[in-house]
Amino acid sequence: PEQRNYNIISFIKEHPHFFAEYTPGMSKDRLVNLVCNRLLNQPMTERNTRVLDPEKHNSPFNAGDYEWQSFDRGNWESQKKFYPYFKNRGINLATQRLFADSFFLTTKQRTDGKRYTNLSFLLVLPGKPDEKVGLEERSRPNQEGKMVYKGMAAGSNATQGIWIGNPEHMALPEVRNVYWFESALDAMAFCQLNASTLNMEDSVFVSTGGSPSQQQFKGMIAETPTATHHLCFDRDRAGQVFAINFELTHAGREFSSYLSKAGNLIVQDCSEGYQRHEIAMEPFDFKKVTASLGINALKPDLEDAVLKYMEMGDGYLQEMYMNRRDNYEISRTDGATNKEELEKMENDLHAISKALQMLSRSGTPAMGNIIYEPTAEGYKDWNDQLLDKRMETEEKELDDWEISGRATLNRALSDLPEINAEHIRTGLYDEADHEAVRKRIERAEKVVQSFEVNDKGMPDKGFQEMYEIQEELARLETDITNSLSGMREEYQPRFHR
């Protein structure tokens, strides 16, 4: 067993769920402050919460702010308007017609009078599919064929909202197959690649619009409790983590996860007490990883048996499981029982065990099966596979090794909102600063992770420069959080210009 040494601060930060003061998403430094004051029996000074014009920064998505153009299957003039957006993606007309009800051209006028149009994929809540809660947006490619902009429309509920491509307009509880992707374009590419084998009559295709949240997973799982879920996320480290997070959510676990600097996956499972798992991700084997987390996939033909056993109740099942396990052990060792009978007994035990697990957990697991279904080897995502655009594996030229990590990351962050320079100087921040630093941290994490997984050209010095920027952003977030939390009594900011 791994032995780790903690001081009080590192222990609280590593095990936040042990403490009643913790709420998901709160600053770990704030948690340390609250816990230590309680342990020292020091009352916390009540401070007035500052609300800084919440409507300005948190206005919900309003479909009325946009002009909407639909793809009309019977009108060629309508279809031509979409051509520039799909051409460089290789998405053909047949695929566009298949999903025509799920994408639009939306136009919005800015305050300066300029108008811009994007290809938009509608976000909805799984439980309220008629309610528009946002847009997954893609701009028209420039002359070089590159997409200038991709993101979410202002005010989009990207935490719960998802894009659902539903060609047959099925009621979600009747769906038998759910295919998961990080973008709607990947979903369309997947369907085009597999058009001859997919059964569209019982399938829907889902995009999380980037990094998926547990709320997105839970919302769709709740509406499709018996469906088989196909995890078609990108074939990179982030996509692999998304697949594992889905499996954990589907199993009813309450957890958090992140990648360590060594590249291992850390899973903190709080479903039953507290368990911390550290899992090597290279080489990646989805089944082995989920097995190490104690998640046993259920064969589809056992689902009815599990439901039947659940109706019997916890107490009766415990005794039944013990008796049948004893019978199985006797049959396995006496040599008189054939292989087929032993397999039936194993499946029966598995079904009873699953029923007991579901009855005992507050976060009830769903019944459906899960299939990990990444792209073919060598492709990052399904649109790349459609275009036959492989991930680079060849060695770089010598000159390419001198890539500046700081310049690379700063360029990637250049289009994001900046933290107010005057606020940095004074150490007094507002909610806009907090939102800006969070966006920068999230973008930096994605950029660094993409280089760690896919790019061999970044030298160690470049990685060190990017890590330093991440550390600077993390410290700045702490400064901002402390300021907004009212913990600035003798506090001196560490950032000056």
CA 375 to chain centre: 18
Does 450 lie in the same domain as 346? Answer: no
Cα(357)–Cα(361) distance, integer angstroms: 6
Q: Report the candidate in 86, 187, 201 with the shortest Cα–Cα distance to residue 140.
A: 86
Q: Which residue has the higher pLDDT, 353 or 343?
A: 343
* pLDDT the model gives residue 395: 38
The yes-or-no verdict on residue 470 having pLDDT over 80 is yes
Inside any domain, residue 126: yes
Inside any domain, residue 11: no
Within 10 Å of residue 361's Cβ, how many Cβ atoms?
A: 15
* Contact present, 33 and 487 (Cβ < 8 Å): yes
| Environment class of 267 (CB within 10 Å of its CB; exposed 0-12, middle 13-18, buried 19+) | buried
Tell me 380's DSSP state: S
Least confident of 72-86, 382-396, 464-478: 382-396
Does 243 lie in the same domain as 274? Answer: yes
Per-residue pLDDT tens over the stretch 255-307: 888 888 888 999 988 877 788 899 999 889 998 898 888 876 555 555 556 56
Mean pLDDT of 104-122: 91
Q: Which residue has the higher pLDDT, 179 or 433?
A: 179
Cα(318)–Cα(449) distance, integer angstroms: 46
Percent of the chain scoring above 70 in pLDDT: 80
Least confident of 137-151, 199-213, 438-452, 464-478: 137-151
Inside any domain, residue 495: no
Inside any domain, residue 31: no
Within 10 Å of residue 220's Cβ, how many Cβ atoms?
A: 27
Does 325 lie in the same domain as 400? Answer: no
Q: Between the ranges 3-7, 133-137, 329-333, 434-438, where is the mean pLDDT highest?
A: 133-137
CA dihedral 439, 442, 445, 448 (to 10 degrees): -50
Radius of gyration of the chain from Cα atoms?
A: 26
Cα(464)–Cα(472) distance, integer angstroms: 12
Q: Report the candidate in 178, 362, 159 with the shortest Cα–Cα distance to residue 252.
A: 362
Inside any domain, residue 494: no
* Contact present, 408 and 466 (Cβ < 8 Å): yes
Cα(61)–Cα(156) distance, integer angstroms: 5
Cα(270)–Cα(255) distance, integer angstroms: 6
Say if strands 265-269 and 177-181 run parallel, antiparallel, or are unpaired.
unpaired
Does 461 lie in the same domain as 342? Answer: no
Does 96 lie in the same domain as 166? Answer: yes
**Cβ contacts of residue 289 below 8 Å, gap of 6+?**
244, 265, 279, 281
Mean pLDDT rounded to a whole number for the chain: 81
* pLDDT the model gives residue 325: 77
* pLDDT the model gives residue 78: 92
Q: Which residue has the higher pLDDT, 281 or 399?
A: 281
Cα(342)–Cα(347) distance, integer angstroms: 9
Cα(234)–Cα(181) distance, integer angstroms: 8
Mean pLDDT of 242-249: 94
Inside any domain, residue 6: no
Does 249 lie in the same domain as 125? Answer: yes
Per-residue pLDDT tens over the stretch 186-233: 999 999 999 999 989 999 999 999 889 999 999 999 998 878 899 999
The yes-or-no verdict on residue 398 having pLDDT over 60 is no
Does 307 lie in the same domain as 255? Answer: no
Domain hosting 334: range is 300-360
The yes-or-no verdict on residue 56 having pLDDT over 50 is no
Q: Report the candidate in 175, 157, 152 with the shortest Cα–Cα distance to residue 165.
A: 175
Inside any domain, residue 189: yes
Per DSSP, helices labelled H in 108-195 are: 184-193
Cα(416)–Cα(399) distance, integer angstroms: 30
Q: Between the ranges 9-18, 53-62, 184-193, 414-423, where is the mean pLDDT highest?
A: 184-193
Does 413 lie in the same domain as 379? Answer: no
Least confident of 146-150, 304-308, 445-449: 304-308
* pLDDT the model gives residue 303: 54
Q: Report the candidate in 138, 127, 211 with the shortest Cα–Cα distance to residue 164.
A: 127
Does 409 lie in the same domain as 273? Answer: no
Does 290 lie in the same domain as 306? Answer: no
* pLDDT the model gives residue 497: 40
* pLDDT the model gives residue 111: 80
* pLDDT the model gives residue 104: 96
The yes-or-no verdict on residue 106 having pLDDT over 70 is yes
Q: Between the ranges 9-13, 105-109, 224-228, 329-333, where is the mean pLDDT highest?
A: 105-109
Residues forming a β-bridge with 107:
67, 117
Does 145 lie in the same domain as 228? Answer: yes
The yes-or-no verdict on residue 463 having pLDDT over 90 is no
Sheet containing strand 265-269, strands side by side: 255-259, 265-269, 275-279
Domain total of the chain: 3
Scanning the structure block, which residue is given the tokens 């600097």?
A: 261
Phi-psi region of 441 (alpha: psi -120 to 50; beta: other; left: phi over 0): alpha
Q: Which residue has the higher pLDDT, 420 or 441?
A: 441
Does 201 lie in the same domain as 126? Answer: yes
Mean pLDDT of 7-12: 83
Within 10 Å of residue 81's Cβ, how many Cβ atoms?
A: 14
Inside any domain, residue 33: no
Q: What is the number of H-type helices and E-type strands within the chain?
A: 18, 13
Mean pLDDT of 234-239: 94
Least confident of 27-31, 159-163, 173-177, 199-203: 27-31
The yes-or-no verdict on residue 54 having pLDDT over 80 is no
Q: Between the ranges 102-106, 308-312, 424-428, where is the mean pLDDT highest?
A: 102-106
Last residue of a domain, one of 334, 350, 384: 384
* pLDDT the model gives residue 19: 80
